[in-house]
Structures are given as structure tokens and as C-alpha cells.
Amino acid sequence: MSGMRRISLVAAVCLGTFMASLDISIVNVALPTMLASLRTNMSGLQWVVDAYALCLSALILSSGALGDRFGRKRIWLYGIALFTFGSLVCAFATSLSILLTGRVIQGIAGAAVIPGALSLLTHAFPDEQSRTRAIGIWSSVNALSLVLGPVLGGVLVHITGWPGIFWINIPVGIIALLLGSWGIKESAHPTHAALDPLGQMLSILWLGVLTWGLISAGEYGWHSPRSHLPLYAALVLFVLFIWIETQVKRPLLQLSLFRNIDFTGYNSASFVLGFSSYSSVFFVSLFLQQAQGWSAAATGWRMAPEFIAMAVAASGFGRLSTRLSVNSLMIAGYGLMGIALLLLTQLQADSAYGIVALYLILLGLGMGLAMPATSALVMRTVEPQRSGMASATMNALRQTGMTLGIALLGTLMSMKAVHSLTMALQAHGVDQPAQIARAAVIAQQQTAGNRLNADTLLSLTHNAFASGFSVAMLWAGLLSLGMTVWLLIMLHPRFHLHAKHTPAVMPKFRD
């Protein structure tokens, strides 16, 4: 492949990833505006994010198999075109149901775009060092989309309203299609591709039902049949999915890959990355707007330091990997993430922005190291012809982590906020404090009631959201630190947990 075609390939892949990733951070800033415009509630906001993430995570495994069988270039280009169409649907949405339809279309398309990026880069750059640099560029562009997302989203929401955050995808999608059509060379390995319709259906069902149950718990409580029945059903569907994958000849999820402890460990880290750090974007945006009272535009600018730090760390990853082992960078990344998330639990509704920015910078640095390290190490554990499956599995687990993180941590945040506000209203002698608290937190309806003016209720609501945010970040931080400890154990030669035989040379642990 010529140098210009490689440049075109990298540009196309980066633009595709930019577009798909932009919709993660840019949407989060617009959520409070959507809440008022579409007349929805907190559960509706969770679904705006999770409808995209759920389809993305559930279909990524199939897109990897489709790419392996029918051609990685073809499936990636179809994904770009479909994502552009889904963005049009979202931009024209006049109700929550239409918006969710567009988000589902985007999620289906994103499943072809995001994992396809790593697979295309792996085949275009067979040399390990050049591949690591290419992945570093891809990761930095991914981070850049997250940097621009909050800022650009805030500006667009302020100027054009929330539909403007989807219009920006149209020109990006068209340019990515043109560059990809010329620069990407077709590659396929049909003998390694797996098409498993029953497994695909069950993967969508169990993850969708589980997300439904977790979000419902925040709205109706854990003991409501609307919550625990979906959770029980999700468990049954998950067990059935795993059983089916052990029975079919060409399974959707190659469970045999998980016999390699390196593959299992790195993919577990990918899940934690999604659950803890990717989902934190949702909560930080809500904290800044609902707890500290900033506008969408101001929130965008205040979230930018996290993603700038992420872009800096990701762009320097290639150079750092020549001096330090990728394993060491991965451990440092997850450790920084855990520390930063725990520091975020100390924030209050009146915390100074300088402290908020410092904690977000630490979180961004950790993510900027963890993202490319996890991607590079996962891809080293399989043969090149299985790169599509490996990339899809890693991204599926990451997006599944984000989906479940927003659902579960969002439910815990809502419950804690409702409880805190209820206690505060009781202390002020307000009648029916639980009902008023649920209306303020879940439905975003401010009803002051007796003995309390609207300004006091708003202040109490801000404090309640801050307490809920702290609970969500606490569990996210503990999980990240737990993964850091596991990586230290897994990668240290004293414990001999490395797989004895891997398809590629694994990086050595350095003290």
C-alpha cells in the first residue's frame, strides 16, 4: 500500500471514529436541554445515551464477523453511511421516541465503524512499532472528539438548540466515505468469520432487558416488579446466550479465546474502562449542570480539561511506549483513573472550579493512557486473521461497560439524590418530602410545597445531586482501583499468570 493511501486510510478511520465518539460526549452536554424540550425525565435521559451504547455493544460482535466474512472495508463504509443517516433522523426528531429511533440507528452503525477501525489499522500496519503509532494517532483523535464534544455541543445547543449536535455529523460522514473508498484496501478472512443469528438475538435481548431493569430501578425502586422481573429475565437470557455459544459450530462470541488469561484480563480491563470512565462523562455533565447550575455552553468549556489531558496522553502514547512497557502504561492509566474518580467524590455543589478541573485532568490523563494500552495489548493476543473478532470483543465489552455503568451508577445516583433531598426536606418540615424529592430529581419538576421557597428547594436539589454524584463516582473509582490491583498481579512475573503461548510476543513487565 502506498504512503498516500495509508494516510488516506488513517484519516478516514480517524474521521469515522471521531464522528462515532463525538456523539458520546456531545450528547451528554445537551441532555438537560433535551429533558425540557422533549418533556422526558431522568430515565429518558439515560435511554438517550444507552439506546446508542446498547445497540453498539450488542452488535459489535456481529459486525466483526461480517467484516471478516464480507470484507472489512465494505462493512466499515456501510457503517459510515448508516451513521450519517441516523444523525439525520436524530436532527429531525420532535419526540423522545423518534430521537431514540435515530440513536438506535447510530448504535447499529457505530458497531461497524468503531471495531472496524482497529482491524483496518492492524492489517494496514503489520509492523508492530508503526502499528502502535497508528493506534496512538487513532486514540488521540478519539480523545480529540471527546475534547471538542462538550465545547462544541455547548456552543451548538446555545446557538441552534440540541438538534445542531447531530447536524455536524453529516459533513464528517461524507468526507470519511470519500477518503475510505479510496484509501482502504479490502481484506477478509471468511474461513474465520462467525455468523450466529440466535446468539446475536440473545445478546441483544439479555443486554437490553438488563439495561431496562437497571434504569427502571432508579425510577420505581429495586423491589418493584418493573425492576426485578427484567433483572431475573436478563440473568436467564444471559445463561442461555452462553450455553448457545458453547453449542454452535461458529459462535458469535469465541469463548475459547478467554482461555488465554492475557486476552481475558485485557478485555476485563476494557469493560472496566467503559463502566468507570466512559460512563463518568454522563455523570460529570449532570453534576456541572444539575448540581452546580452551569449552562450547557459553560459545562462544555468546564469539561474540556479532562479531554485535553486525555488527548495529550494518548498522542504521546507511542513515544512513551518506546521507553516504558505498554503494560506499565496500562497500569498507570487505570491507577490514575481510580484515584481521580475517588477524588471526584469529594466535590460539592459549591466546590471551586479549579478543584473540579484538577480532578478532571487527572482522570483524562489516566484515560489517555488506558485506552491505547488496552487496545494494543488486546490485539497482540490473537493472530492477525482473528483481529476482527478480537477488536469487536474488546469494544463490545467496553461499550457494554458504559451501558451498564450509566444504567447502574445512574440508578444509584438517583436513589441517593432522592434520599438526600427527602431528608433535607424533612428537616425543613415540608409535607410529603418523598414525593417532592422524587419529582425534583427524577422528573425535574420543582414543587416547593409549604414552608419552603423555590430558591431554597433549588439549593437543596443541587446538594442532593452532588451527593448522588459522589456515590456514582465512588463505585466507579473502586472498580478502577480493583482492576489496577488485578493487572499488577496478572502482569508481574512472580505470579506467572501470563499465558505460556501467545500468537504474538507480549510486552514484558518492568519493575
Instruction: Give 234's Cβ-side CA count (13 Å radius).
Output: 17
Which residues fall within 8 angstroms of residue 152, CB to CB, at 6 or more apart?
Answer: 22, 26, 165, 168, 300
- The pLDDT value recorded for residue 454 is 75
Residue whose entry in the numeric block shows the C-alpha cell 431554597: 456
Distance CA 209, CA 236 (A): 11
Residue 192 has a pLDDT of 61
Q: What are the tens digits of pLDDT across the range 363-406?
A: 999 999 998 899 888 888 877 667 667 777 887 888 889 888 98
pTM, full prediction? 0.80
Q: What is the pLDDT of residue 189?
A: 67
User: Does residue 444 contact residue 414 with C-beta atoms inside 8 Å?
Assistant: no
> The C-alpha cell of 370 is what?
488506558
DSSP 190: G
State which amino acid sits at residue 153. G
The pLDDT value given to residue 337:
97
In the structure grid, which three cell numbers stand for residue 270, read together?
A: 476494557
Q: Do 395 and 371 meet the contact criterion of CB atoms below 8 Å apart?
A: no
Cell (9 digits) for 347: 466535590
Residues 6+ apart with CB under 8 A from 213: 227, 228, 229, 230, 231, 233, 234
Which residues does the chain have with pLDDT short of 50?
500-511
Give residues with Cβ within 8 angstroms of 323, minimum separation 6. Answer: none
Q: Are the C-beta atoms of residues 480 and 341 closer than 8 Å to each other? A: yes
- In order of 65, 75, 109, 148, 389, the CA distances from 119 in angstroms are 11, 12, 16, 25, 9
Q: How far apart are CA 444 and CA 311, in angstroms?
A: 34
Helix-helix angle 261-272:454-491, to 10 degrees: 170
Could you tell me the three cell numbers for 241?
Answer: 446466550
- Cα atoms in the Cβ-side hemisphere of radius 13 Å centred on 156: 21
Alpha helix positions (H), 161-279: 164-167, 169-183, 197-220, 225-247, 261-272
| Whole-number Å distance between alpha carbons of 293 and 442 | 17
pLDDT in tens, 163-190: 999 998 999 999 999 998 887 877 766 6
Q: Count the residues in the chain.
A: 511
CA distances from 97 to 29, 94, 178, 443, 457 (A): 20, 9, 32, 17, 31
**Quick one: the chain helix, strand, coil %, rounded to 5?**
80, 0, 20
CB contact at 8 A, 155 and 33: no
Looking at residue 278, the DSSP 8-state letter turns out to be I
DSSP 3-state of 18:
helix
Within 10 angstroms of residue 238's Cβ, the number of other Cβ atoms is 17
Cα 206 from Cα 245, distance rounded (Å): 14
